[in-house]
Structure 1
């Protein structure tokens, strides 16, 4: 058997797992197959003998391929996946028997896919690779061009979004932006009742440590409490996509100083307020077209 045939055989052994990673990332069986094929093409262009851990290399490479696709879609402000139109995802073989795997896919697979669409591209990649496929933060860090500690923070944020996402998030970026723009306008103008209307009754605001040090009171729950916090604020904030999710940012002299990241359904389900420079540096920010600020 030639070296090329042996490499192809080893790749085929990994294909089901790679397809499972790609499907969780992209939400589409067809796009997952394309991403796996792109991964094979990348493998065929490198010297396989220099790869010490082929399964690990393939996992991070297919993750990078998916991340590029998601970032491209987010930059165009397009919906990157169509969850409702796809069939069941392919899962990684594990300790459960086939009947248990089928039950798992039937009961939670679709729900998880919907929740994953609420994550930004980087968050989704980190969550999928680390929490679902046990890839270490050290291995993920070069894929997303972050430090391992920043990747750990991203994973924690993604985990909270998944854990607190019982309502189906809105995936149309135009509608997301409309909700965010209405929220920012109500905030700037101090329209408390409008803020309450735009917020889910069980909304959660999670400020980071720097925001708390600057005067926030810690995590807030409920539309009234969160509306009081934002009423009269957001004077310099402009709409943006923060790690692919709907958000808003404050940019001063070309430097990102503050970011808000939202989970949006019909109303706003959760808000993260970020001012820590290290966390801000870990964000992918695309300022919404027409907002008058620069893209970061």
Structure 2
């Protein structure tokens, strides 16, 4: 799989593909919410990138035949995978509605000995999940393969960079892709507290949201620092200060026409500089 082709893709096509992907992964979350071992932070509804299978894959579901639900992001194909990582069944979602996909999934899951009737799409707070014709009976459209591939490449690259950061930070959480905002992220916890709050740094990629419509990388220290004296960041990155405070690098700020390796180095440099800046900010006034 190519890694992040130069950004020649129409931003609108990227937004549309991101919304298609956001709805397609809801099958993973719905199955896990209904049937996986529940975890207090809801991470059982999250999923991860599986580099061997080149799919997003959800929690293991206990059943007569244990299984996971996966999604191949470029073709938007829903896959049921057994505990040996072999595909048991698959459904290309292109041309199918959300309901048709759910009916297929319930049928396949019930064959494996789990109670498929429990699988229902997750409810999110109003105005906190993007609306789209898919929510109102429209069919999936996987025809923008280039845009879907570009999005998949952002997740692959970010997963690789977060894995590298995790190896040098013993207080890093697992890497999760969250179904609510479709961000891939991990949390680093630092020693100490500030005003009674643990010190944490969130690091990840959003494929685009209400803050920025395009994909962007972020690093945010919490509790949020005072915005009066934020340090300068590497590259073209900047501090976002509306509603939340964090360092941001937008995909449109990546060096144009650079090869994949150069772009990955640019993202890595941003993540490291923003992580160091965040650690410095949090260490001020620690109780």
Is the TM-score greater than 0.5?
A: no
Higher Cα Rg: structure 1 or 2? 1
TM normalised by structure 2 equals 0.24
